[in-house]
Amino acid sequence: MASPGGNIMPPDIIVNNPKLFFAGIAGVVLFAIGLSQLNSAVNAAQTNKDGDEKNPSLVKSLLVFCYSCFIKPHAPGAKGNQQEALESFYSSQAGVYDVTRKTLLKGREDMLALVAAQLQYKAEKDNDKKKRIWVDVGGGTGWNIEAMSEFVNVPEFFSSVYLVDFSPSLCEVARQRFARLGWTNVKVICKDARKFRLEDYENDLSLGERTPTRTPASYFSQKRPEHGGADLVTMSYSLSMIPDFYSVIDSLTSLLSPNGVMGVVDFYVQSKVDISFRNYTGGLIGRHVNFLGRTFWRAWFDLDRVALEPARRDYLEYRFGTVLTANSRNKTLGSIPYYIWLGCHKKPFSSSSLPHEIVERIDALATNSPSLYPANAKQNVTNALTRAVERTAPEIRSKAFDAAIQNLSANLPLPSFFYQNHHWRIYYDDQLKKHTQFNDEYIYAFTWEDSRVDERLLRLGADDVVLAITSAGDNILSYAMQSPARIHAIDLNPTQNHLLELKVASFTALPYEDFWKIFGEGKHPEFRSLLISKLSPHLSSRAFQYWLSNAEIFTKPSSRGLYDTGGSKHAIRIFRWISKVFGCRKAVRDLLSAKTLNEQREIWHNKIRPALLSPLVCNLVVSSEAFLWKALGVPKNQLAMIENDHANYCKNTPGANKGQDTRAHAIWHYMVNTLDPVVEQTHISADNPYYLICLEGKFSRKCHMDYLSQKAHERLSRPGAFDGLRIHTDEIDEVIARIMPGTLTVAVVMDSMDWFDPGSAAAASQITKLNRALKMGGRVLLRSSALTPWYIKEFESHGFQGKRVGNRIPGECIDRVNMYASCWICTKQENLPPPTPEMESSRERVGSVDMDESWSLS
């Protein structure tokens, strides 16, 4: 384990501050004067005989630490090898190692919790009760192994635990630790990790499942096997201290079992330039370290022979597949960069399938390919038949398949998506501008569509295949409660899909009360620990990174919680500000406490409406194009539709004031038609969660989204409840172009068609693709801010029949949200002619590369 320390301020701060500079010199002089006392402390710590010497005081421990790191010379030893170098550094501080590293070596508990969660998930999934083997490489004093007891019962969960370290002094401390604990299944091996062979200590490793035990006929014919018998391999702040790290990382592949997990935590520095074009790192959130930070930390750690060059982490990610990764900073000690990484074998192993079939099956999940296995059926189709069906089908491939082919042909690991426990999240390139434009922020923290109306209109069945925009995922979960065969959730904003992933993972892993706190109340003080120990096996690497970086949303005491985040928070904060300025905060609380509709109406008309719908607010705030987009997600083309409808109203309505044909009045009129009927006809605190969340910032046990009920949790937390879910991070056009024609039965596009420019062919192009993707009789459900949107004619000219199933008239609610002027279902009546070769050429396809050849390259 690494052991830097001392003053952690960058050198330019010291040089530019003369007082600090001379104070530092004085400190060094005083430190030198007390050298004899330090030596005495060191000798006392090394004695470690009886009484208090086994538990030296914190002051003594820090003195020993400072002496060993900054004053004691590193003697090369007679042989000049790595073991003597380690002993030179550790022998004087082995007895105080754990005391002095608690603050320095951050992330160890998190790494252990993550690997424990992975192992526990695999055991529950496979109903596997066998004990496991764990090898902790560079385990030092054994702190990691004892700390693992916070997450699993180490003596019962593992049949054998091997601590492999090259420092005799640290190994001796470890032996004393496990003797004290009475853990007989832990073996301390003082040995070069490159030479450690698990088969030398485990006699029951069977051929095929574990590392072969047969001794080669010749010394020169020895070849390490492709995989080994360790279910878990960990490295905690040891990789950065191994000079020949390439050979050590190579040796780990023959230790790890086919389905084993590997965990690493260590220091690092790296520029985003190095890794921005890699698709297999599992995400890059927080990975970049600026030039000054890279230069300073690398030089600082070099003093203690701790190497922070990027090659160590890069080679680790190259030799293994990435399951999860996270980048963080030790803010207690000058923001030292460190990372946590979980991996598995580079080539996926499966007891029932060959590697190329795993890639093809995952490809089928994304495209609705005919070779797709039923979600809840056993895999009873032979490999040969699977290949034959796939090759006779039209060459439609997912982007995941394309990425897999590119990586395999270059002998790179697959994107981390392929190594996840679930394949809900479809591969995407997070570095594309179309994804980065959202700046890692979702717009909607809750979905602004009435799921009750959707359920009544669609009446989904077991054979339905649904494509829908993700938004905050609430509608996707509502559809999942109806158990259709497949749901394709689509959103261009990665963070909207991160939010859906979090909800799905929470259904899968958490009891109802924890689920309710996170999504009902929007806050949970234990969210971070739940994320690491419970949710992590069910999240993609990028989603895990995102929520780990934003855990304070749920945990920070001063935070207002989940529903005060995202772009929609601006609308909620504006309302909060308006109600405060106009002195009606109490009126809002009274409205939420109203027991009857009449009481609610009275409070609205007398106290709240005059402020919220005042011309001043409308002119200065709500009619702002920037506010409408940032806070409500209303783009300019949709705004134009609202203005056009209002202009027609002013023109055709007798008695209407023609002078009020302005944007401000159009927005005011739209707000009146939206909000007045909601207050008049729906009891907000009892049955309108969409407005309750805006006013209160959280749901109540009485009033909430359908997916937040205990009944919904019981249904969606069942094993396999989300087997049919596919989460695509892309444009709708891109997804439906890669889905097998004629496989969708329902497409829910919300109000997205409002975003199209009437003067472009984009709407017609998407409608054409929807026609090809839908079965005959398939339906498109859409909402619009216009009473009769212009693009309905486009649907009707491209094989659909349009029918308005909801029409907002003044004084009436179209649904509990009442935000849209109309709701439509367009039903497919005829197939369009096949696409031309020019249309086909625009689709990205890979058809000439054979999967078996690709795997042979790796």
- Give the CATH number of the domain where residue 141 resides: 3.40.50.150
Strand order in the sheet with 486-490: 725-728, 486-490, 465-469, 744-750, 774-784, 822-828, 800-807
| pLDDT above 90 (res 435) | yes
Q: Is the same domain home to 41 and 114?
A: no
Local confidence band at 730 (pLDDT 50, 70, 90 cut-offs): very high
Question: What integer pLDDT is reported at residue 357 of this predicted model?
Answer: 61
Question: What integer pLDDT is reported at residue 386 of this predicted model?
Answer: 39
Q: Is 175 a member of any domain?
A: yes
Q: Is the same domain home to 445 and 525?
A: yes
The beta strands (E) that lie in 470-545 are given as 486-490
Local confidence band at 283 (pLDDT 50, 70, 90 cut-offs): very high
Q: Is 11 a member of any domain?
A: no
CB within 8 Å of 686: residues ≥ 6 apart: 702, 703
Question: What integer pLDDT is reported at residue 23 of this predicted model?
Answer: 38
Average pLDDT over the chain reads 80
Give the pairing type, strands 486-490 and 725-728: parallel
Q: What is the pLDDT of residues 561-588, one digit of tens each?
A: 999 998 878 778 877 877 787 788 899 9
Q: Is 9 a member of any domain?
A: no
Q: Is the same domain home to 163 and 250?
A: yes
Local confidence band at 738 (pLDDT 50, 70, 90 cut-offs): confident
**Domain end: 321, 345, 369, which one?**
345
Q: Is 65 a member of any domain?
A: yes
Q: Is 122 a member of any domain?
A: yes
| pLDDT above 60 (res 13) | no
Give Cα separations from 469 to 76, 455, 479 (angstroms). 63, 16, 12
Q: Is 24 a member of any domain?
A: no
| pLDDT above 50 (res 6) | no
Q: State the residue range of the domain holding 93.
A: 34-99
Q: Is the same domain home to 109 and 90?
A: no
As a whole number of angstroms, the distance between CA 482 and CA 484 comes to 6
Question: What integer pLDDT is reported at residue 638 of this predicted model?
Answer: 83
Instruction: Identify the bridge partners of residue 80 per DSSP, sorted by sequence position.
Output: none
Q: Is the same domain home to 392 and 327?
A: no
Summarize the confidence of residues 17-39 as an average pLDDT.
39
Cβ–Cβ < 8 Å for 105, 310: no
Question: What integer pLDDT is reported at residue 16 of this predicted model?
Answer: 41
Q: Is the same domain home to 816 and 692?
A: no
Question: What integer pLDDT is reported at residue 405 of this predicted model?
Answer: 85
Question: What integer pLDDT is reported at residue 355 of this predicted model?
Answer: 53
Considering only CA atoms, give the Rg of the chain: 31
Question: What integer pLDDT is reported at residue 4 of this predicted model?
Answer: 36
Q: Is 686 a member of any domain?
A: yes
Q: Is the same domain home to 753 and 834?
A: yes
Q: Is 554 a member of any domain?
A: no
**Domain end: 345, 375, 392, which one?**
345
Question: What integer pLDDT is reported at residue 128 of this predicted model?
Answer: 75
Give the pair of three-digit tokens for residue 497. Answer: 């899909």
Q: Is the same domain home to 163 and 302?
A: yes
Q: Is the same domain home to 256 and 304?
A: yes
How many domains does the chain divide into?
Answer: 5
Question: What integer pLDDT is reported at residue 385 of this predicted model?
Answer: 37
Q: What is the pLDDT of residues 49-88, one digit of tens each?
A: 333 445 555 555 555 555 555 545 555 555 555 555 555 5
Question: What integer pLDDT is reported at residue 70 of this predicted model?
Answer: 52
Q: Is the same domain home to 204 and 294?
A: yes
Model pTM?
A: 0.83
Range name among 13-22, 251-260, 262-271 with the lowest pLDDT average: 13-22
Q: What is the pLDDT of residues 119-140, one digit of tens each?
A: 999 998 877 778 899 999 999 8
651: number of Cβ within 10 Å = 10
Question: What integer pLDDT is reported at residue 409 of this predicted model?
Answer: 86
Summarize the confidence of residues 243-258 as an average pLDDT.
92
291: number of Cβ within 10 Å = 9
Buried b (16+ CB within 10 A) or exposed e, 33-49: eeeeebeebbebbbebe
158 CA to centre of own chain: 29
**Domain end: 696, 713, 748, which one?**
696
Q: Is the same domain home to 176 and 240?
A: yes
Closest CA to 483 of 577, 375, 388, 606: 375
Cβ–Cβ < 8 Å for 69, 5: yes
Instruction: Identify the bridge partners of residue 804 per DSSP, sorted by sequence position.
Output: 824
| pLDDT above 50 (res 105) | yes
Q: Is the same domain home to 193 and 264?
A: yes
